A and B are shown apart, each in its own frame.
Chain A
Amino acid sequence: MLTIKNLHACVEQKNILNGLNLNIKPGEVHAIMGPNGAGKSTLGYVLSGREGYEVLDGQVDFQGHNLLEMTIEERARKGLFLAFQYPIEIPGVSNMEFMKESVNAMRQHRGEERLTAAEFLKKAKEICKQVQLPLDFLKRGVNEGFSGGEKKRNEIMQMILLEPSLCILDESDSGLDVDALQIVANGVNSQRDGKRSFIVITHYQRLLDYIEPDFVHILANGKVVKTGDASLAKQVEKEGYAFLGLDNSEEVTA
């Protein structure tokens, strides 16, 4: 699904990723943990192609394509989805209109017919129910006036709707209460079908109680310093990153 080799990237001339390697097979769930400033969110942005994130070295293969040569929208249309840590508002553009255009952009790319308004609405309503958002969310402006938890659920809703092949969840658990966390986790689990892969970026083992990862990677100073199974996350929860010889404080250099 995704092979990252020796990835180096910088933001505003500051090196953030320093030789990162990662190999993700179809159907796998990879959790990425690590101290603040380790480069977790940067990884998500570099993979999705955000401007300002400059790749200095390395290769990324996504389903047989050279990911780094593709535009942001090409990556998205090929099935790479990023659930944002801080979803932004687009006033006046209804959630429904936004998602419909988005779904149809994907469909068009795959050579499928656009969904009619009715077909889309039916689908959207079902997913709304699944992530427990009231139906009037479809009519409201994209993320306009949503609470933190609503924004995160809205991201999951888009993920389910767009049926991506690789989902990157950037701290989709931050700021959620236990109930909302379960809704988000259930949403993710409902999409695990043995083919779709996930990168779950999180600070807390808590989320991994609900979304069971196949692998846990600890990221520090821009590279993977340790890889293990779910038990690694539990160890981090208990002991912090100190056992890896890493400082756990905010001051960790990026």
Chain B
Amino acid sequence: MTTQIDQALSRTYDAGFISDIESETFAVGLNEDVIRRISAMKNEPEWMIEWRLRAYRNWLTMEEPEWAHVQYPKIDFQAISYYSAPKSMKDKPKSLDEVDPELLRVYEKLGIPLYEQEMLAGVAVDVVFDSVSVVTTFREKLKEAGVIFCPISEAIQTYPELVKKYLGSVVPRSDNYFAALNSAVFTDGSFVYIPKGVRCPMELSTYFRINEQNTGQFERTLIIADEGSFVSYLEGCTAPQRDENQLHAAVVELVAMDDAQIKYSTVQNWYPGDENGKGGIYNFVTKRGICHTNAKVSWTQVETGSAITWKYPSCVLKGDNSIGEFYSVALTRGRQQADTGTKMIHLGKNTKSTIISKGISAGHSNNTYRGLVHMGSKADGARNFTQCDSLLIGDLCGAHTFPYIESRNPTAKVEHEATTSKVGDDQLFLCQQRGLDAEKAVSMIVNGFCKEVFKELPMEFAVEAGKLLEISLEGSVG
């Protein structure tokens, strides 16, 4: 039956088209001049240039981490272009009508309508194409509620005090190799500020697209939820099908002030490379949220793309009674490698965290869960519950689990559960005997396995994520 599963798993990547958009792209290479040029392109103030350069100098002293359970040839950072923007964006279109129709067509093809009247009701989108934000919808409506939602390049100009205060406050410039690189060269991303006591009236989302060849995407997202506020945010990502590997090194910082809640969902579908592991995105991402008193940060991720995924959305539970959650589905197939998980750093009293991780491996892929639960000495009564389930499809793939637990407080409780199972021939036979074809059967079994995570996604996206898994598992979508 393995052959049937294999067939069900070989699919085409339907976001893999290349758009012919005239771009202004920096020559490959990285040095202080390149960073100054990026900064100049964005018309940044002096303090920002300084910030970037300090990050860059730090990065030069750092070593690329090798502890992850992934294998790839050394990245040549001098062979990457660090800035690429559609030429048409130079004049900064003021509304969608001024945006290059060719660019709009890209999103139409991806199934992401940008005209507000056509959009999913209640979702505002910031659209980042290579190194620039193309458009941010519903800004006026959000403004009425006092919510700021704009490209981070614009926030640096318009809200320098907020950016200065919080940028790098959760993920410091020198946090790790890829975060330092991002701090030096980040080009765009989203900025969100929710004022005190405001419940953001709509879902916010950012859609990232890498188009240009040999270009890295280094986006930076900063979300600040002031006291007692609430926001739900979603990011999605795709890239064309190319033979070369492309680097994506993002940083996301979340600040949840007292009693605030941030729900951050990711549907990651970067190009995973072909059957033989040629091409695909290297996805090295640092995501972290800090929770002040009674605050809550909830990460939900559905990771189906990328050749390499290196990603650990984490929570620093600083304030008493704060809550951190991590719900993850990671699907690898072909030659994909994923090393993903979370860190829950319990510092405050009675802090609580939940980790539900579902890894699905198929083909020749390797899927690793890596997680740290840290109970600090002052974290009296802190609790963690971790559940790590792995599902294997076929017999050439691998599932690995590396849970780390550090407890410095005798009153803290940590629970860890783990299971590994296989999509069985018996299950498949039952489904087929009931009239379902193998593809439908596998996707149904996998969806059942992921149910606990999907129910955490915003409604519209839960459906999307289910479909994405289905597409990932289907042979004939294109």
Which residues of A approach B to under 8 Å, CB–CB?
Answer: 48, 50-52, 71-73, 76-77, 81-82, 84, 87-93, 97-99, 101-102, 105-106, 109, 141-142, 158, 162
Contacts and interface: CB of A to CB of B under 8 A. Distances in A.
Q: Chain B contact residues (Cβ within 8 angstroms of A): what range?
A: 20 to 34
Contacts of B437: 73, 105
B54 interface: no
A76 B434 contact: yes
A189 B444 CA distance: 32
Contacts of A76: 432-435
Interface of B: 1, 424-427, 429-438, 440, 444-445, 447-452
B435 A77 contact: yes
A142 B434 CA distance: 13
Contacts of A73: 432-433, 435-438
Contact of B435 (A87, A90, A106): A106
Given A51-B425, A72-B429, A98-B444, A92 B451 contact: yes
A102 B450 contact: no
Contact of A101 (B429, B438, B440): B440
A88 B426 contact: yes
A90 B433 CA distance: 14
Nearest to B432: A72
A141 B445 CA distance: 11
Nearest to A86: B426
A90 B432 contact: no
24 contacts: A51-B425, A52-B425, A73-B435, A73-B438, A76-B434, A76-B435, A77-B435, A81-B433, A87-B430, A88-B424, A88-B426, A90-B427, A90-B445, A92-B450, A93-B444, A98-B431, A101-B436, A101-B444, A105-B434, A105-B435, A105-B436, A105-B440, A142-B430, A158-B434
6 tightest A-B contacts by CB? A92-B448, A93-B448, A105-B435, A102-B434, A72-B432, A92-B451
B427 A98 contact: no
A50 B437 CA distance: 13
Contact of A93 (B425, B426, B447): B447
Contacts of A48: 433
Given A72-B429, A88-B426, 4 more contacts: A48-B433, A50-B429, A82-B433, A88-B427
Given A50-B429, A88-B424, A88-B426, A93 B434 contact: no
A72 B433 contact: yes
B429 A90 contact: no
Nearest to A97: B444
A157 B360 CA distance: 31
B130 to A, nearest CB: 38
A99 B424 CA distance: 19
Contact of B434 (A52, A98, A109, A141): A98
A75 to B, nearest CB: 8
A92 B425 CA distance: 17
Contacts of B450: 92
Nearest to B449: A92
B430 A92 contact: no
B436 A102 contact: yes
Q: Which of B433, B436, B438, B452 has the most CB of A within 10 A?
A: B433
A98 B431 CA distance: 8
Contacts of A87: 430
A48 B429 CA distance: 9
A141 B429 contact: no
Contact of B449 (A52, A91, A109): A91
Q: Which of A71, A88, A90 has the most CB of B within 10 A?
A: A90
B78 to A, nearest CB: 47
B444 A51 contact: no
Nearest to A83: B433
Nearest to B1: A51
B429 A51 contact: yes
